[in-house]
Structure formats: C-alpha cells, structure tokens
Copies of this chain bind each other. A is one copy, B any other.
Amino acid sequence: MYIGIDLGGTNIAAGVVDENGRIVCKGSVPTIKERHYSEIIRDMAELAKKLAADAGYGIDDIEAVGIGCPGTVDNSRGMVVYANNIKMDHVPLADEFRKYIDAPVNIENDANAAAYGEYIANGNGAESYIFMTLGTGVGGGIIINGKIYRGFNCAGAEIGHSSIVLDGKTCTCGKKGCLECYASVTALIEQTGEKMKEHPDSMMNEWVKKHGKISGRTAFECAKAGDKAAREVKAQYIRYVAEGVSNMINIFQPEMFVIGGGISKEGDELLVPIKKFVYENDYNKYMPKTEIKIAELFNDAGIVGAAMAAVNRA
C-alpha cells in the first residue's frame, strides 16, 4: 500500500491509498508552519506511520510515499525549492522524509498532485487532461499521456497566471491581468463586496449580516433567490472563469477539462454557462469537443494524486 500526504499551510493531511487510488484510511495534524522544517517532516512521518497502523499495516508494507507541497518543487531532486507559506527554502524533503520511512518518496507540486488525483479518479484515461482549481488562487495541472506535465524546470502549469485582461489588475505574482485576479474565489469575494457597496438594497447585504462575512457562496445563493445584483456578480464571475477555460481549450484541445476548488460545488450553476461560452468560442469547429466537468474528489485529490504519482512515477 501507499501513503499520500498533502502538506498545506494549515494542516498536514495524509491517507493510506490502495493500488486503485482509493483512500483506505486518512487523517490530519496541524502544520504549525512557523516551525523548523525538520519538525514538520517528523510529524508528517509520524502521521504516515499512525495511519498505516490504523489500517492494519506495518512500516515495511509502505511501498511508496507521495508528498504534495505548495510552492516551487523540484520533482527530479525531491526538493522543495521555495515555498513561501511553509517557509521552506531548498529543503531536500524526500531525503529528510526517508530518515523516518525507508521507501521511495516522490515530491510533487500540490496543484499537480490534486490534478493527478482527479485524473486517477475521473479521468477515464484521457489522452490529455487539464484540471483547474478555483480557490484562494487559480491553480492547475496538466496531464498528457498519463504523465504530469511540469515544464523543463518543474515550474509549469501555472494556468492561473496567464492573463485575460491586458494591463488589468496587478496579481500577487507581479504580472497584470492574470486569470487568478478575476476567477479565484478571492476575486469573487472582492467582486461581491464591490457590488454590495453599489447596491445597498441587494439581498447580498442581508446574507452577509446573517453569515458574518462575504464568501464565494454569497452571490451564487442570492442569485438563486432572485437578487438582480447577485445575478450580475455571478454572471460576470462565470464569464471570467469561462474566458480562462476557453483559452486553455484553444491551446490544448484536451480530451477532458475538469474544474475543482470550493466554488465547483455549485455544480451545474457554474458548469452549464461555462460550457455554453466555451463551446461557442471554441476554435475547433470540425473535430470532437473537449468534455468539461466538475471535480469529484475535492479535498482528497491531493492525497490520492500524491500517492499515485509516486506509484506510477507519473
């Protein structure tokens, strides 16, 4: 059996994963990201051992370990080159981890791991597959012929940092007009807040009073209840997301395109208008069309993908 670990800024989530990519047992511990990396790695290994024991396995039964990490990850050297939010700078994570568990360890960028997990779960072996996750940022992963596409330097697949608005908003990455500035949930919350100010009579203001804060659900729920301003926010946000999806489809013509992240739980409310825009704007007029759908694994994708990337050397 295999261990998949999703190292996040808040929690270390891990699972025992079987050869079909199914989670047998899972758990998590706090990352406490301010600590020295050696303590974080020790806790990752302890969690892995505990979960293996919970599932009835010994440490020698662990055939491979996969770890998904934020930031810039050098997959070939098993190194976290730089991760701002867990304060890792050139940390030889694979080697450090092997001090605790002597098994092959594969390190993957967290977005790539999540993409691969979704691909294993719902990709149907697609020849080309793109996963876009709409969360705090806009992340992504590209799977070609069953392999994670990383670029020559392991820094590729940053689909949230292609621009859709020339000289638009300044992104955290320094570039202007990135898809992430318009299509992330962070951006949706901003867009919702702006519209609420313009329309103090909008139902969204009451919603926020009731729920304590603006969230990615505010506009979607108030739109469903018939609020005009909320419908405008929702339509404009979907237009931004669809622009990004459409661009990626004209570039890749992947067999499958999957949308994940918290907002993807809106399901058809999000998917149907995106599909409409994308198919209408598809450069490809004569060949079969990309299948566009919503992710299925959500938070488990990183655990499954990290483990299976280690197994399959994807």
Contact = CB atoms under 8 A, between A and B. Distances in A.
B158 A283 contact: yes
Contacts of A162: 162, 247-248, 250-251
A251 B254 contact: no
Nearest to A176: B281
A125 B252 CA distance: 22
Contact of A72 (B72, B155, B287, B289): B287
A264 B243 CA distance: 29
Contacts of A161: 250, 283
Nearest to A156: B253
B166 A243 contact: yes
Interface in A15-37: none
A255 interface: yes
A22 B256 CA distance: 38
Copies of this chain present in the complex amount to 2
A98 interface: no
Nearest to A159: B251
Nearest to A153: B287
A127 interface: yes
A1 interface: no
Contacts of A173: 283
A38 interface: no
Interface in A94-139: 126-128
B155 A81 contact: no
A149 interface: yes
B164 A72 contact: no
B281 A175 contact: yes
Contacts of A287: 72, 74, 81, 153-155
Contacts of A150: 253
A56 B149 CA distance: 45
A226 interface: no
Contacts of A284: 72, 153, 155, 158
Contacts of A285: 72, 82
B254 A152 contact: yes
B82 A255 contact: no
A157 interface: yes
A152 B164 contact: no
A192 interface: no
Interface string A273-314: 000000011011111111000000000000000000000000
Given A128-B152, A155-B286, 18 more contacts: A72-B284, A72-B286, A151-B254, A152-B254, A153-B287, A156-B252, A156-B254, A158-B283, A158-B284, A161-B283, A162-B248, A163-B164, A164-B166, A166-B168, A174-B280, A175-B283, A176-B281, A248-B251
18 contacts: A72-B287, A151-B252, A152-B288, A153-B288, A154-B253, A155-B283, A155-B286, A157-B251, A158-B250, A158-B253, A158-B284, A161-B250, A162-B162, A163-B164, A164-B164, A164-B166, A166-B240, A175-B250
